């Protein structure tokens, strides 16, 4: 089978489209012929060597995708050849065929396309647990969303709205601000402006009820834009490590700092399927919409990585085997 691999860490140029052995599935696995593969920043970090990779080269990136079951292991029940399957956390997805453990296989409704399933699972399930578990958004909550034009950001904005809150976005450019507004943000401020003051003015001096913080280096600023008794949810550090937080500040302001990681939530197949089904239902009802995707052939993986690293994209980037 064909796969996108790399043998040394580095830039997009280390990626090679080549022939490798077809995976051999175990008794509790299914073999999925990939239709669409999701590209994420985690793939960039792994390619550069920032994230740990198990095994030896050639390495295969990719953790998210959708396709059709081609073969099932001997112990598999409830999944059959020809079924439409997606996953959010299965390694070696940058290939024509992927061995998927049964507990990580998520059935795709007929109403959801392969492209939308591959676009929404990793980022959509992240936005789902952030708004359901890390901080349960309530009616009339004012919610500040960092990187609101990004994949998770646009989905957060939509979920805040469907749960009855008001989303305020932060972006790095006017073009991205327009994308966040199209997703449903009530207002959007730029990082280059005095956005802390703007958020306070927008909230009549109070501050946001909750801030979804994915930049890291802006953590202290997020607290400044949060109301007394409010919450900051820290779930990413795309802009660098955060400064240490003084517990005395938390005590004096009654503010809460909480963290979030998707893999602490997706602990069973039941969790994966239940949360995905709610996400798919919101999509079917038109409450959550997937932004326009940029599609690259898997053989053009270098170009896809270059585009993602350019920070010019606002929607999902997909690889097509």
User: Around 222, how many Cα atoms within 13 Å sit in the side-chain half-sphere?
Assistant: 34
- CATH number of the domain residue 225 falls in: 3.40.50.720
Whole-angstrom distance, CA of residue 180 vs CA of residue 148:
6
Is 208 part of any domain? yes
If asked whether residues 288 and 241 sit together in one domain, one would say no
If asked whether residues 23 and 44 sit together in one domain, one would say yes
If asked whether residues 53 and 95 sit together in one domain, one would say yes
- pLDDT tens digits for 251-302? 999 999 999 899 899 999 999 999 999 999 999 999 999 888 899 999 999 9
Is 134 part of any domain? no
pTM: 0.91
If asked whether residues 73 and 174 sit together in one domain, one would say no
Whole-angstrom distance, CA of residue 25 vs CA of residue 12:
30
Whole-angstrom distance, CA of residue 32 vs CA of residue 22:
11
Q: Which residues have a Cβ under 8 Å from the Cβ of 307 and sit 6 or more positions away?
A: 294, 296, 313, 317
Burial bucket for residue 295 (CB in 10 Å: 0-12, 13-18, 19+) = middle
Give the number of other Cβ atoms within 10 Å of residue 244's Cβ.
8
Is 127 part of any domain? no
If asked whether residues 246 and 169 sit together in one domain, one would say yes
pLDDT at 314: 67
Q: Give me the domain span that covers residue 56.
A: 2-120+266-320
If asked whether residues 171 and 84 sit together in one domain, one would say no
The CA-to-CA distance between both ends of the chain, in Å, stands at: 10
Residue 134 three-state SS: helix
pLDDT at 240: 85
Assigned token pair, 264: 């602490």
Q: Which of 307, 312, 239 minimizes the C-alpha distance to 39? A: 307
Whole-angstrom distance, CA of residue 314 vs CA of residue 174:
12
Torsion of CA 274, 278, 284, 285, to 10 degrees: 150
Instruction: Concatenate the DSSP letters of all residues of 265-292 into one string.
Output: T--SHHHHHHHHHHHHHHHHTTSS-PPP
Burial bucket for residue 232 (CB in 10 Å: 0-12, 13-18, 19+) = buried
| Host H or E run for residue 180 | helix 174-183
Give the number of other Cβ atoms within 10 Å of residue 238's Cβ.
13
Whole-angstrom distance, CA of residue 177 vs CA of residue 146:
11
Which parts of the chain sit beneath pLDDT 70? 314
If asked whether residues 237 and 297 sit together in one domain, one would say no
If asked whether residues 30 and 78 sit together in one domain, one would say yes
Domain final position from 236, 259, 282: 259
């Amino acid at each position: 089978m064909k796969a996108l691999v790399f043998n040394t860490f580095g830039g997009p140029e280390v990626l090679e489209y080549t022939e490798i052995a077809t995976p051999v599935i175990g008794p509790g696995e299914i073999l999925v012929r990939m239709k669409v593969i999701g590209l994420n920043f985690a793939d960039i970090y792994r390619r550069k060597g920032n994230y740990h990779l198990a095994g030896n080269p050639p390495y295969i990136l990719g953790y998210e995708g959708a396709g059709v079951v081609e073969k099932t292991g001997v112990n598999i029940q409830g999944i059959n050849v020809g079924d439409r399957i997606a996953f959010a956390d299965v390694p070696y997805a940058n290939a024509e065929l992927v061995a998927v453990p049964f507990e990580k296989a998520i059935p795709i409704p007929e109403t959801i396309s392969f492209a939308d399933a591959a676009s929404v699972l990793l980022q959509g399930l992240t936005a789902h647990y952030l708004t359901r578990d890390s901080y349960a958004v309530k009616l009339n909550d004012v919610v500040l969303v960092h990187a609101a034009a990004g994949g998770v950001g646009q989905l957060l904005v939509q979920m805040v709205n469907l749960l009855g809150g008001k989303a305020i976005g932060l972006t790095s450019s006017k073009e991205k601000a327009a994308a966040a507004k199209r997703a449903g943000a009530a207002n959007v401020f730029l990082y280059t402006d005095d956005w802390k003051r703007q958020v306070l003015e927008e909230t009549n001096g109070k501050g946001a009820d909750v801030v979804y913080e994915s930049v890291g280096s802006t953590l202290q600023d997020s607290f400044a834009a949060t109301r007394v008794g409010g919450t900051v949810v820290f779930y990413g550090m795309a802009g660098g490590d955060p400064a240490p937080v003084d517990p005395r500040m938390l005590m004096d302001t009654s503010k809460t700092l909480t963290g979030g990681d998707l893999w602490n939530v997706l602990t069973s197949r039941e969790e994966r399927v239940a949360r995905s089904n709610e996400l798919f239902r919101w999509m079917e009802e038109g409450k959550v919409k997937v932004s326009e995707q940029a599609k690259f052939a898997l053989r053009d993986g270098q170009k896809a990585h270059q585009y993602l690293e350019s920070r010019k994209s606002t929607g999902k980037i997909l690889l097509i085997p």
